[in-house]
Structure 1
């Protein structure tokens, strides 16, 4: 049985859909009080409706804005208490050939996928260290472990998330806090739906053919499910994972290997 600290409180960013929503639901089912953050309050409230009595705070935050993060974390902790578990899931994907990747796309990918992790973690991690307990789980991607064509800015950002994870794991190892990353392959989420739509628009293939092309990357020949990623996060957030630190766990059916 997965064990958590008594009255554990988790914050999940990007919790309105996909991996974030699945993770919030999994944590709540395990008895953890869960607060939700993201840009759109209406989708966060939809996730909150699935959490039963384990809802903490529900706060709309632009996790790329330092002032908004500081204010939002203060609101969450005032309403629901100190944060013991942080799941940095918020992010977005954008694609373009490298020679057509402009400064705006580059900046957006780094802000949404890397700077957001830095900002939220910096707002939460010192409190964890002071209390002597905490879990930080960053949702990266197989793009943080290998390279993919036509998504150079996204790949660079996700590599940054993995690097930040490893650095913080060492820095906080003696303070009762672990920092790990999960690296999903193509997962059946709205982001993959957008990727499939882009393939349809650019190649004329059907949606089914586009989704099959994405699934083909996985040796299991299928998309990962959000619930599979959530289960990995649940374990890393538990007391039983106390010696797991600085790891980037691939959830991709054998697409990439870590060691």
Structure 2
């Protein structure tokens, strides 16, 4: 019996925020499934380590800041020229500046939207121009369940993720007839450096899982934090042909924490 080809063999994927956490997990999984991955992050160390581990033919590191408009356009052009025609874009790059609104600075608000919303817009626009010309492609934005549930101290993050989520759905509507699919994966609390920066004491992890009424926050029904690979698996499904009839969907990967209807 002939061995089956990896599911994403022959495809080119660009993953932002690939230096750590969810972005790193996505880059690894797509490469393991056969894609040629361009791993993007503004910090070079994490993506350089990925390239060294996998080899540049499987994961190519590119140190790019998604808030730099010209650099984003150059990145997509260079990817198509040196790696391959872009089949998959996964927007993972994100920042979190926790603060109550009355204490939130203009700089923190602007920086949060520059990465989490405008960065998604610019990468998606550049990728969509290539994909629509060929009549195929998949764009996935990693949002957050905070986009649909108010969180104290996270207004800028939640608002920026809500903007990115609806932008991606609108893009999906515009591109549907061209054969390009656009979806969102919305994680809940995930065991990453971003999550751990919110923890101030040894009991913080338990409060996330069990819930915290004083913060108007329910727990996680499945009783565990997500691991980055849990989110990556959802992304890998949505960019695959198994999801060929799915677009404009928002897939929550939060262990049931938002109690969605």
Q: Return the TM-score normalized by structure 1.
A: 0.91
Aligned 8 A contact 1:62 1:68 in 2: yes
Aligned 8 A contact 2:86 2:131 in 1: yes
Aligned to 1:250: 252
Q: Specify which of 95, 104, 108 is matched with residue 105 of structure 1.
A: 108
* 1:21-36 pair list within 5 angstroms: 21-36=24-39
Distance 1:244 1:102 in 2: 39
- 1:209 paired to 2:211: no
Aligned 8 A contact 2:117 2:161 in 1: yes
Can you list the C-alpha shifts for 1:30-61, whole angstroms capped at 9, x where unaligned?
Answer: 11111111101221011223435752532111
Distance 2:89 2:260 in 1: 23
Aligned 8 A contact 2:8 2:33 in 1: no
Q: Specify which of 123, 127, 130 is matched with residue 124 of structure 1.
A: 127
Distance 1:223 1:5 in 2: 28
Can you list the C-alpha shifts for 1:100-157, whole angstroms capped at 9, x where unaligned?
Answer: 1121111111111100100111111111011111000000000122211111111100
Deviation at 1:214, TM superposition (A): 2.2
Partner SS, residue 195 of structure 1? coil
Distance 1:5 1:46 in 2: 22
Segments of 5+ residues of structure 2 without an aligned counterpart are: 211-218
Partner SS, residue 250 of structure 1? strand
* 1:1-259 pair list within 5 angstroms: 4=7, 7-52=10-55, 54-196=57-199, 200=200, 206=201, 208-216=202-210, 217-258=219-260
Partner SS, residue 158 of structure 1? helix
Distance 2:118 2:6 in 1: 31
CA RMSD of aligned residues (A): 1.8
Partner SS, residue 49 of structure 1? helix
Q: Return the TM-score normalized by structure 2.
A: 0.90
Partner SS, residue 113 of structure 1? helix
